[in-house]
Structures are given as structure tokens and as C-alpha cells.
């Protein structure tokens, strides 16, 4: 077991430990340094590196508060968001091929989670390499509030890809630091507090719907003039929007409200000719405007994609032992 020391010698060298290099963690780190609340920030992240593949992400909307937060931290990040994304004029709701409602927007920027993360990460690399350190492959295992320490499983490099992956347990002594838990809806820090912190309670309500994504080829939407990039569409349980590189993405909702056979189709992980045909028929029925631009390859790749889910979390307190704080839970 390895022990790492993280100490604070004076206020000018104030240090923070952040768990999670997602949008919340990266933005928090930038704000702490930019507004001179901290001279050094260490971010511990379970993943091996930044994922920038659009096909591994999902669409999100950045509301005015999120745009202001980016502008407050670094105005060039807000500019980058506008350059790489587009404003949503409205959400159009369809029943079959007929539009039944339109909800105006004009304030929310349509983008993806990976785009936001990439913009924030690029900012760290350009301007904050000395102040913000990201430690990849560090998965938080547990923590000790009394000792003010965090225990990580750290992935070690393999000399041969055929060898089993090995991990080393690393203890970070963070008594002189403040901890920001930005580790998402299944937070390890929150889970620890539920079991070990007196008076701490939480209520987790999982989403009733999960989403799995289907991507078009770049420019494919031009085959359907009725689809306009400035609108996002809701069609029979499918969310349709455009993302970077002129790619349209369909978010297929999966929940208990669907027939068992449909759920089995939408969650299948092996693409057979029968399933590809069934998926095309399903999309044609639910989102007929999108069906024409989807190729057989697009449909086949759907079965390789992961499913995204989440939960609403309510906690009795954000501060844990005057040492750690739960941060996040609201979308950018």
C-alpha cells in the first residue's frame, strides 16, 4: 500500500482535493484557482483519460446559469461552447409525423457532455497545468473522516495486454486539504456518509427511463428537409437532436412502460439481421422523420452502445465532517 501526503502549509498554498474529472469537478477546479481560493487543486479520476468520442457521450442542454458559470470562470470557454454548439430555438413535440406542440427556448445551448468536458479540460491544459493536477486511473474506494484520508484503487500499467489488470491501493492523507465530492449520482463519498456519518441521510430515486443512443452519419439529416438543426424533437419516446459534425442523434427511451419484447430489443447487445430490421421498424413507427437517414450500419452500431441512466438525489446535508462537501447534481 502506498501513502501520499497532501498538506496545507499556509493559506496562500491552500489545497483542494476533487473527486471526479467530469464537468462539475473540472469547472470547480478552474473557479477555485481563477478566483484565488486555492493555489493548488488535485483531481482524482477513475477513468484512464478524457473521453472525447461523441459516440460515447449524450446530448445535454446548457442553461443560462451554466453559460454564466463558464463565462465567469473563463470567458473563452463560453465562446468555445457557442462556437461548437448551437442554440435551441424550441422543442417540437410530435405524435407520429404530426407536430402537436412547440415549446420555445432561445436560451438553452444544445451540446453534449463530452463537448463540455473537452472544453474544460483544454482550458486546464492551456492555462492551469501548474495549479491543477489530474490523477487518472484513481478509483475512490473509501475514505476515513477521522484520519482525514482517502483510499483509492489505482490501475497499474500492464506489460502484456494478455495479463490480468492489477491495482494498487493508495492512501491519500488529506488532513490539510478540503475535499469536493464531484463523483456523480453514485457518489462513493455520499455512500460512505450514509453508513458512517451520524445524522446523514439520503434518498435516491432512479430515473424511470434510461436512454440508449443511435447516431447518424455526418450530414445525413440533409436527406430530410423537415428536420431543422435549431430545433430539438420529441417523438414517441425518442429525443432527436443535432450535435457536432452535423450528426443527428436519437435518444431512445427504455422503461417499464414499454412492452417486454420492445425492452428486450432496445437493450440487446448482439446485432442480428432480425434485430436490425426490428429496430428500423420501431424508429420508423415512433420517429418517422428520422428513419430515412439511418443506414444499416447506424442501426447495427446501436447494439454496441451503452445505456445511460441516472437518479434524483436528496441529502440531509452537503457538508461531511467539516472536511468534505457534496457538489453537483444540477445540470450545467
**Owning domain of residue 66:** 15-88+107-200+313-326
Nearest Cα to Cα of residue 34 among 61, 88, 70: 70
Residues 251 and 219 in one domain: yes
Residues 190 and 270 in one domain: no
Q: Alpha helix (H) ranges present in the chain?
A: 23-34, 64-73, 75-84, 113-127, 188-196, 260-267, 273-286, 296-302
Residues 213 and 285 in one domain: yes
Residues 258 and 167 in one domain: no
Within a domain: 332: no
Instruction: Give the CATH number, domain containing residue 167.
Output: 3.50.50.60
pLDDT by residue for the chain (332 residues), tens only, comes to: 554 555 433 334 568 999 999 999 999 999 999 999 998 999 999 999 998 888 888 899 999 999 999 999 999 999 999 999 999 999 999 998 899 999 999 899 999 999 999 999 999 999 999 999 999 999 999 999 889 999 999 998 776 777 778 889 999 998 889 999 999 888 999 999 999 999 999 999 999 999 999 999 998 888 888 889 999 999 999 999 998 778 999 999 999 999 999 999 999 999 999 999 999 999 999 999 999 999 999 999 999 999 999 899 999 999 998 899 999 754 33
Within a domain: 298: yes
Residues 181 and 245 in one domain: no
Residues 111 and 161 in one domain: yes
Within a domain: 1: no
Whether the CB-CB separation of 84 and 246 falls below 8 Å is answered with no
Residues 193 and 225 in one domain: no
The burial of 301, by beta-carbon neighbours within 10 Å (0-12 exposed, 13-18 middle, 19 or more buried), is given as middle
pTM of the model as a whole: 0.89
Residues 321 and 187 in one domain: yes
Within a domain: 115: yes
Contacts of 2 (CB under 8 A, 6+ apart): 154, 168, 169, 170, 171
Within a domain: 98: no
Residues 133 and 155 in one domain: yes
Residues 195 and 252 in one domain: no
Residues 78 and 195 in one domain: yes
Within a domain: 331: no
Residues 151 and 192 in one domain: yes
The total domain count for the chain is 2
Amino acid at each position: 500500500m502506498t501513502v501520499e501526503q497532501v498538506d496545507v502549509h499556509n493559506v496562500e498554498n491552500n489545497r483542494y482535493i476533487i473527486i471526479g474529472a467530469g464537468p462539475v469537478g473540472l469547472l470547480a477546479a478552474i473557479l477555485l484557482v481563477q478566483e484565488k481560493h486555492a493555489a493548488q487543486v488535485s483531481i482524482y479520476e477513475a477513468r484512464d483519460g478524457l473521453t472525447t468520442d461523441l459516440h460515447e457521450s449524450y446530448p445535454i442542454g446548457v442553461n443560462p446559469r451554466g453559460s454564466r458559470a463558464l463565462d465567469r470562470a473563463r470567458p473563452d470557454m463560453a465562446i468555445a461552447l457557442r462556437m461548437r454548439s448551437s442554440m435551441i430555438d424550441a422543442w417540437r413535440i410530435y405524435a407520429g409525423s404530426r407536430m402537436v406542440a412547440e415549446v420555445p427556448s432561445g436560451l438553452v445551448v444544445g451540446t453534449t457532455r463530452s463537448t463540455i468536458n473537452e472544453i474544460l479540460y483544454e482550458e486546464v491544459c492551456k492555462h492551469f497545468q501548474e495549479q491543477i493536477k489530474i490523477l487518472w486511473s484513481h478509483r475512490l474506494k473509501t475514505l476515513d473522516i477521522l484520519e482525514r484520508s482517502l483510499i483509492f484503487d489505482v490501475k497499474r500499467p500492464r506489460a502484456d495486454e494478455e495479463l490480468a489488470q492489477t491495482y494498487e491501493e493508495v492512501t491519500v492523507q488529506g488532513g490539510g486539504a478540503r475535499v469536493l465530492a464531484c463523483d456523480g449520482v453514485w457518489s462513493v463519498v455520499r455512500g460512505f456518509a450514509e453508513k458512517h456519518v451520524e445524522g446523514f441521510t439520503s434518498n435516491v430515486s432512479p430515473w424511470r427511463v434510461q436512454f440508449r443512443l443511435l447516431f447518424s452519419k455526418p450530414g445525413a439529416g440533409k436527406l430530410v428537409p423537415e428536420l431543422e438543426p435549431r430545433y430539438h424533437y420529441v417523438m414517441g419516446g425518442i429525443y432527436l437532436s443535432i450535435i457536432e459534425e452535423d450528426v443527428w442523434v436519437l435518444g431512445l427511451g427504455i422503461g417499464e412502460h414499454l412492452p417486454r419484447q420492445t425492452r428486450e430489443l432496445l437493450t440487446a447487445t448482439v446485432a442480428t439481421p432480425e434485430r436490425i430490421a426490428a429496430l428500423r421498424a420501431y424508429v420508423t413507427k415512433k420517429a418517422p422523420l428520422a428513419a430515412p437517414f439511418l443506414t444499416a450500419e447506424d442501426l447495427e452500431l446501436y447494439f454496441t452502445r451503452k445505456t445511460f441512466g441516472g437518479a434524483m438525489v436528496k441529502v440531509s446535508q452537503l457538508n461531511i465532517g467539516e472536511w468534505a462537501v457534496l457538489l453537483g447534481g444540477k445540470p450545467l
